[in-house]
Structure 1
Amino acid sequence: MKRWLGLILLLVVALLVVWAGYQGYARLRALEGQVAALEARVEAQEQALKALGDRVGRLEEEVFKAPAPPLSLPEVPEAPSAPAWPYAVGVVVAAVLLFFLLQLLRGQREREKVQEPQTPSQENLEASRMEDEGAPPPKRE
């Protein structure tokens, strides 16, 4: 029986090898079919590119045969100028702020004069100094 078992095992292994070989062959045939289809697609695209190249060549010939104006530099587009109104508004705002600042300073100076009235002694000092410098004496009422 050992003999028959070895032969059966050998037959099963042989069948498995034959089946694996057939599967490999079938896959090889399928791949060959895919390669043939891809080669046909590449050939068709090659033909299309050649036809397109011929058309482009004919168009180039027509373009170069057509009369063209002499080459010149392209015209420079006009640059848009900046609007002037922001500058005018800025100048007006600056003038108004300067006016208010000067008014504020003038008001402070007047307040200082009002807060420090001249005393008669200060008036006499100023009058005597002016007389020393050669001014006529002030008229007294």
Structure 2
Amino acid sequence: MKRWLYALLALVLLVLLGWAGYEAYASYRDLAARVALLEAQVQAHEEALKGLADRLSRVEGEVFKAPSPPLSLPEVPAPQGAPSWPYVVGLLVVLALLYLVFRLLRQGARKPEKTGEAPSQGLEEARMEEEGGPPRS
């Protein structure tokens, strides 16, 4: 009984090895197909890049053959003058202040002195009296 058990195990092992070998072969065939597909795509991309390189070289040739102005710095825009309205407003304010100051000075000079009072002493005499000096007669 043991004889046919070893034969059966050997047969099962052979079938499993055959099945594993077939699966390996099938996966190898799939990989080979994928590699062939990728090689075809790479070839197509190479052809497209060659076509684009040819077109780019033609465009560069046309660009370099075309006349163009010499390279120079861009023109500087003309400077604009500062606005004059702040100066005019400042001048008007200064003139108004001067007018008011002169008007106050005029009114102070026109005030009549009161009659009946003694004339005011000079600043020096007042200071001397405050410091304790004898009054001037």
Q: What is the CA distance between 1:75 and its match in structure 2?
A: 3.5
Q: Which amino acid aligns with 1:132?
A: G
Q: Indicate the residue corresponding to 1:42 in structure 2.
A: 42
1:129 deviation in Å? 4.0
2:11 match = 11
Q: How does 1:51-130 map to 2 (within 5 A)?
A: 51-76=51-76, 128-129=129-130
> Hey, what's the Cα distance between the residues in 2 that align with 1:43 and 1:78?
58
Q: Please list the CA deviations of residues 4-57 of structure 1 after superposition, one character each: whole Å capped at 9, or x if unmatched.
A: 110010000000000000000000000110110000000000000000000000
Structure 1 vs Structure 2 CA RMSD: 3.3
Aligned length: 95
Identity %: 52
User: Is the counterpart of residue 132 in structure 1 residue 130 in structure 2?
Assistant: no
Partner-residue secondary structure (3-state), 2:71: coil
Give 1:128 deviation, angstroms: 3.3
**Residue equivalent to 1:20:** 20
* TM-score (normalised: structure 2): 0.59
Are residues 1:30 and 2:27 paired?
A: no
1:91-139 superposed Cα distances (whole Å, 9 cap, x missing partner):
xxxxxxxxxxxxxxxxxxxxxxxxxxxxxxxxxx967347837x635xx
Q: 1:57 to 1:29 in 2, by over 3 A?
A: same
Indicate how the Cα distance of structure 1 residues 56 and 126 shifts in structure 2: closer, same or farther if over 3 A, else same: closer
Shift of 1:71: 1.1
For residues 33 and 79 of structure 1, the distance between their equivalents in structure 2, rounded to whole angstroms, comes to 72
Moved over 6 A (4+): 77-80
Equivalent position amino acid for 2:71 in 1: L
Match for 1:53: what amino acid? A
CA distance in 2, matches of 1:2, 1:58: 83
Distance in structure 1 (CA, Å) of the matches to 2:77 and 2:16 = 81
Letter in 1 for 2:17: V
In structure 2, how many angstroms separate the alpha carbons of the residues matched to 1:2 and 1:43?
61
Write the distance in 2 (CA, Å) between the matches of 1:72 and 1:52: 32
Read off the aligned partner of 1:47 and give its amino acid letter. E
SS at match of 2:136: coil
Structure 2 unaligned regions, length at least 5: 87-125
